[in-house]
C-alpha cells in the first residue's frame, strides 16, 4: 500500500532549490559589499541548483502583494488550487488535497518568500544606471591619465600653450571626476535596490504579507467546486486513477468460430494520476487486478447466504464507486445484532477512503424544530464529492426528515454551508447506507419516499462464541482483493444498467412499507369492507376504534385531526368511502368485533 503524502515537503524543497537551469550561478554582488549593505543580511549563498531563469522571472515582479502573488503562481501555481467557498487545495502527486488549517499552502508561501532574497543576485542596473556605471569606469582611467599629464606639465616650462593645455586638462579632469561620481552614485543606487529586495524578502515573511500573497492569487487559481471530481466514472487509487469505460471486443459467445463478432463491454482501465483531472478524493489502496479476498468472501457468504443477495449488495457498493445517482434510492441494512452488517459497511467505507464519509443520523431525522434557512449545515457540508455515506439508525420513535431524504437522493443540487462560510450549491454524488437493528419510522406512505427505500434483511445471527474480533484486521489485509470485488460490482451494475434487487429485497421492502402504514394496517386489521351503503360508521367512533387497534398492537396513535385528514386516502385505497351527512361518516365498512371500543360510561 502506498502511503498518502501528509505534507508538501517535496514541493517545498523544489520551490526553494528550484530546478537546474543550466546556467552559471551569479556570484554575490560586489556592489552590496562595496557599500556595506551585505552586513545587514545573513551570509547565505543560494543553493547550487537554483533555477536562475525562474529567479529572474520573479525578480521582474513588483515589491507588493500583487508581485508576491505572481511569484507564488510562477513557483507553485501548478500545485495550488483555490476552490470557491471551500478553500485551498494542494496537489500531492495523487490528488488535489484540501488544505485544512493551511498546513500545505503556508509552507509553500514561506518557500516563495525565502526565494525572494535570491532575486538580489539577478537584479540588473537600469539602462541609465548602466550607462553611468560604464562611463564612470571609463572616466576612472581618464582621471588617472589627466592627473599624470597635469603633473608632467607642472614640471615643464610654463608658457602660454602649456597653461592652455593645463587648463583644458583640469576641465576634462573635473568632467571625468563628475562622471566617476555619477557612476559611483549609480552603483550605490543599484546596490540599494539589491538591499531593498532583500529587505522586502524579510518583510514578506510577515503574516499580513503572506495573507496578501494568497489573497491576491485567488482570482487566478480559483475554480468552482463543480469542477472537482467531475468525471463520474473515475475512481482514484494509490497507484493511478481507475476509469470505467466501454470497449469493443470479440464476442466470446459467438457460435461461429470463423466469424469475429464485436460487442461493447464495460471494463476498467488504470491511468496515471494527473493534475488536470481535478480529482480531490483518494482510496489509498494500490489496484492489483490479481488480488483476491478469500476471508472477505467467506464472511460475505456467512452473513448473506443467498448468492443473489450478495450479488445485489456487490452491485450497490460497486455503483458507489461511481458518481452516478440515477437510482435515487438508499439502502437500509436491517437485522438484529451480530449479523455482520456494520462490519461489512465499515470495511467498505475504510477501503473507499476519501470517497466515504459518515454523518450523524440526527442530520436525517425530523426533530420537529423549524430550521432557519441561514443556519450552517456542517454535517451535510461533508457530502460534496463523497460517494458512500454511512449512518446508523435513529432513536426509537424518531422519524426520517423525509423531504430531506428525497432531496439528497434525487440527484438535484442542494445548498450546504460550513460554519462561518457561505452557502455552496453541490450535486449529491453519494449513495446512502443506513445500518439499523430496528426499522426506522417512515410516516409518509407516498411513492415519493418509498420508491427510494431499499431494505436489505440480514437474517443470520452469528453466535457469540463464533465472533472473530480480529476479522476487521484480517479483511483489511485483503483490501486490494476487496477493491477488485467492488470494481466487479461496478462493472456488473454498468452492464445491467440498474441495480436489479432480488425478490427477497423487494418483498422485505414492501413488508416494511405495509408495517409503516399505520392507517393501512388499521384498515386491514380492524375493518371489514362490505361496500354496503347501509353499513355506516361515524368518523369519531372510527377514531376510537383506531385507538383500540393501536393499544393492542403496541403503537402510538396520532392525533384525531391527523387521523381525519388521512382517512379519505385510506378509504380510497381500501375500497370504502368517507362521506358526510349531518356528521362525518364512512360507508361500506363494519368494525370487527375484537376491535370495538368499550361503550362510554353511563352519564358520559
- More confidently predicted of 303 and 337: 303
Question: What is d(CA 312, CA 262) in angstroms, rounded to the nearest whole number?
Answer: 28
Model confidence at 393, in pLDDT bands (50, 70, 90)? confident
The grid coordinates listed for 172 are 576634462
Q: What share of the chain is helix, strand, coil (3-state, %, to 5)?
A: 50, 15, 35
Question: What is d(CA 515, CA 510) in angstroms, rounded to the nearest whole number?
Answer: 9
- More confidently predicted of 324 and 517: 324
Alpha-carbon dihedral 489, 493, 499, 504, rounded to 10 degrees: -40
The grid coordinates listed for 434 are 443506513
Which of 157, 183, 156, 151 is closest to 169 using CA atoms?
151
Model confidence at 602, in pLDDT bands (50, 70, 90)? low
pLDDT of 234 strictly over 50: yes
The pLDDT of residue 159: 80
Model confidence at 23, in pLDDT bands (50, 70, 90)? very low
Query: Average pLDDT for residues 128-133, to the nearest whole number?
Result: 92
pLDDT tens-digit series, residues 158-194: 688 888 888 888 898 899 999 999 999 999 999 899 9
- 84 close to 223: Cβ distance less than 8 angstroms: yes
Domains of the chain: 1-223 (no CATH), 294-514 (3.40.50), 517-595 (1.10.10.10)
DSSP-derived letter for residue 34 is H
Instruction: Annotate 408-436 with b (16+ C-beta within 10 A) or e (fewer).
Output: bbeeeebebbbeeeebbebebbbbbbbbb
Q: How many Cα neighbours within 13 Å face the side chain of 230?
A: 9
Query: Average pLDDT for residues 509-537, to the nearest whole number?
Result: 90
Share of the chain above pLDDT 70, in %: 89
Question: What is d(CA 196, CA 184) in angstroms, rounded to the nearest whole number?
Answer: 18
Question: What is d(CA 102, CA 213) in angstroms, rounded to the nearest whole number?
Answer: 13
Model confidence at 440, in pLDDT bands (50, 70, 90)? confident
pLDDT of 500 strictly over 90: yes
Look at 36-50, 429-443, 498-512, 562-576 and tell me which has the smallest mean pLDDT. 36-50
Model confidence at 29, in pLDDT bands (50, 70, 90)? low
Question: What is d(CA 293, CA 447) in angstroms, rounded to the nearest whole number?
Answer: 39
Query: Average pLDDT for residues 349-357, to the nearest whole number?
Result: 97
Q: How many Cα neighbours within 13 Å face the side chain of 327?
A: 26
Which of 547, 503, 510 is closest to 526 using CA atoms?
547
The pLDDT of residue 2: 40
DSSP-derived letter for residue 440 is P
Query: Average pLDDT for residues 517-543, to the nearest whole number?
Result: 91
Look at 231-240, 439-448, 456-465 and tell me which has the smallest mean pLDDT. 439-448
Phi, psi for 596 (deg, rounded to 5): -65, 130
Grouping H, G, I as helix, E, B as strand and the rest as coil, residue 164 is helix
Q: How far is residue 514 from each of residues 32, 332, 437, 502, 577, measured CA to CA in Å? A: 88, 16, 18, 19, 21
Alpha-carbon dihedral 200, 205, 208, 209, rounded to 10 degrees: 50
- 242 close to 231: Cβ distance less than 8 angstroms: no
Average pLDDT, the chain: 88
DSSP-derived letter for residue 558 is P
Look at 221-235, 330-344, 420-434 and tell me which has the smallest mean pLDDT. 420-434
pLDDT tens-digit series, residues 81-96: 999 989 999 999 999 9
The pLDDT of residue 580: 67
The pLDDT of residue 17: 47
Instruction: Taking the CA atoms of 372, 357, 485 and 495 in sequence, report the sign of the dihedral they define.
Output: positive
Query: Average pLDDT for residues 373-402, to the nearest whole number?
Result: 81
pLDDT of 371 strictly over 60: no
The enclosing H or E element of 298 equals: helix 294-303
Query: Average pLDDT for residues 395-421, to the nearest whole number?
Result: 82
- More confidently predicted of 93 and 574: 93
Cα 585–586–588 angle (5° rounding)? 140
The grid coordinates listed for 138 are 571609463
The enclosing H or E element of 330 equals: strand 330-334
Grouping H, G, I as helix, E, B as strand and the rest as coil, residue 306 is coil
- 385 close to 86: Cβ distance less than 8 angstroms: no
Model confidence at 555, in pLDDT bands (50, 70, 90)? confident
Query: Average pLDDT for residues 131-140, to the nearest whole number?
Result: 92
Model confidence at 62, in pLDDT bands (50, 70, 90)? very high
Cα of first residue to Cα of last residue in the chain, in angstroms, is 78
Which of 46, 44, 51 is closest to 14 using CA atoms?
51
Grouping H, G, I as helix, E, B as strand and the rest as coil, residue 568 is helix
- 70 close to 119: Cβ distance less than 8 angstroms: no
Question: What is d(CA 315, CA 323) in angstroms, rounded to the nearest whole number?
Answer: 14
pLDDT tens-digit series, residues 324-343: 999 999 999 999 888 999 99
Grouping H, G, I as helix, E, B as strand and the rest as coil, residue 435 is strand
pLDDT of 382 strictly over 60: yes
Can you name the residues that pair with 248 across neighbouring β-strands? 264
pLDDT of 31 strictly over 80: no
The pLDDT of residue 16: 46
pLDDT of 26 strictly over 60: no
pLDDT of 573 strictly over 80: yes
Look at 43-47, 112-116, 308-312, 499-503 and tell me which has the smallest mean pLDDT. 43-47
The grid coordinates listed for 472 are 476487521
Grouping H, G, I as helix, E, B as strand and the rest as coil, residue 572 is helix
Amino acid at each position: 500500500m502506498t502511503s498518502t503524502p501528509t505534507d508538501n515537503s517535496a514541493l517545498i524543497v523544489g520551490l526553494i532549490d528550484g530546478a537546474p537551469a543550466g546556467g552559471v550561478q551569479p556570484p554575490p554582488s560586489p556592489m552590496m559589499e562595496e557599500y556595506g549593505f551585505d552586513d545587514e543580511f545573513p551570509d547565505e549563498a543560494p543553493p547550487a541548483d537554483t533555477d536562475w531563469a525562474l529567479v529572474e522571472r520573479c525578480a521582474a515582479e513588483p515589491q507588493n502583494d500583487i508581485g508576491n502573488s505572481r511569484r507564488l503562481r510562477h513557483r507553485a501555481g501548478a500545485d495550488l488550487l483555490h476552490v470557491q467557498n471551500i478553500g485551498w487545495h494542494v496537489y500531492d502527486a495523487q490528488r488535489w488535497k484540501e488544505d485544512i488549517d493551511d498546513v500545505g499552502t503556508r509552507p509553500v508561501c514561506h518557500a516563495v518568500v525565502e526565494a525572494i532574497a535570491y532575486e538580489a543576485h539577478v537584479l540588473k542596473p537600469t539602462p541609465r544606471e548602466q550607462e553611468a556605471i560604464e562611463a564612470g569606469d571609463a572616466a576612472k582611467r581618464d582621471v588617472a591619465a589627466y592627473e599624470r599629464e597635469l603633473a608632467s606639465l607642472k614640471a615643464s616650462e610654463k608658457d602660454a600653450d602649456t597653461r592652455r593645455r593645463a587648463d583644458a586638462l583640469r576641465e576634462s579632469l573635473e568632467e571625468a571626476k563628475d562622471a566617476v561620481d555619477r557612476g559611483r552614485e549609480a552603483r550605490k543606487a543599484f546596490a540599494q535596490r539589491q538591499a531593498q529586495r532583500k529587505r522586502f524578502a524579510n518583510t514578506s515573511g510577515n503574516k499580513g504579507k503572506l495573507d496578501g500573497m494568497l489573497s491576491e492569487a485567488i482570482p487566478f487559481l480559483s475554480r468552482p467546486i463543480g469542477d472537482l471530481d467531475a468525471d463520474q466514472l473515475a475512481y482514484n487509487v494509490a497507484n493511478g486513477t481507475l476509469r470505467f469505460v466501454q470497449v469493443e471486443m470479440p464476442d466470446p459467445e459467438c457460435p461461429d468460430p470463423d466469424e469475429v463478432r464485436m460487442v461493447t463491454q464495460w471494463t476498467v482501465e488504470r491511468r496515471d494520476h494527473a493534475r488536470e483531472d481535478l480529482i480531490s478524493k483518494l482510496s489509498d489502496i494500490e489496484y492489483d487486478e490479481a488480488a483476491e479476498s478469500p476471508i472477505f468472501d467467506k464472511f460475505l457468504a456467512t452473513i448473506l447466504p443467498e448468492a443473489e443477495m450478495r450479488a445485489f449488495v456487490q452491485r450497490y457498493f460497486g455503483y458507489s464507486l461511481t458518481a452516478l445517482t440515477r437510482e435515487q434510492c438508499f439502502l437500509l441494512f436491517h437485522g438484529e445484532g451480530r449479523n455482520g452488517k456494520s462490519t461489512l459497511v465499515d470495511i467498505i467505507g475504510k477501503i473507499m477512503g476519501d470517497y466515504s464519509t459518515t454523518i450523524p443520523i440526527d442530520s436525517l431525522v425530523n426533530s420537529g424544530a423549524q430550521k432557519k434557512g441561514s443556519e450552517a449545515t456542517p454535517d451535510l457540508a461533508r457530502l460534496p464529492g463523497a460517494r458512500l455515506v454511512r449512518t446508523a439508525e435513529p432513536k426509537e420513535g424518531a422519524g426520517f426528515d423525509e423531504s430531506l431524504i428525497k432531496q439528497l437522493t434525487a440527484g438535484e443540487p442542494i445548498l450546504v454551508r460550513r460554519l462561518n462560510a457561505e452557502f455552496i450549491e453541490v450535486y449529491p454524488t453519494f449513495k446512502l447506507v443506513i445500518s439499523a437493528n430496528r426499522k426506522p419510522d417512515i410516516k409518509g406512505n407516498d411513492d415519493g419516499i418509498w420508491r427510494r427505500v431499499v431494505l436489505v434483511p440480514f437474517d443470520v445471527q452469528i453466535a457469540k462464541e463464533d465472533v472473530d474480533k480480529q476479522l476487521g484486521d484480517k479483511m483489511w489485509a485483503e483490501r486490494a482483493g476487496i477493491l477488485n470485488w467492488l470494481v466487479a460490482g461496478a462493472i456488473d451494475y454498468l452492464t445491467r444498467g440498474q441495480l436489479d434487487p432480488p425478490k427477497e429485497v423487494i418483498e422485505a421492502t414492501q413488508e416494511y412499507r405495509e408495517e409503516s402504514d399505520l392507517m393501512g394496517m388499521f384498515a386491514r386489521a380492524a375493518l371489514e369492507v362490505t361496500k354496503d351503503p347501509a353499513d355506516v360508521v361515524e368518523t369519531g367512533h372510527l377514531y376510537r376504534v383506531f385507538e383500540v387497534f393501536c393499544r393492542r398492537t403496541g403503537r402510538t396513535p396520532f392525533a384525531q385531526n391527523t387521523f381525519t385528514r388521512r382517512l379519505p386516502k385510506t378509504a380510497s385505497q381500501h375500497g370504502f368511502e368517507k362521506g358526510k351527512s349531518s356528521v362525518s361518516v364512512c360507508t361500506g365498512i363494519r368494525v370487527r368485533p375484537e376491535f370495538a371500543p368499550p361503550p362510554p360510561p353511563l352519564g358520559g
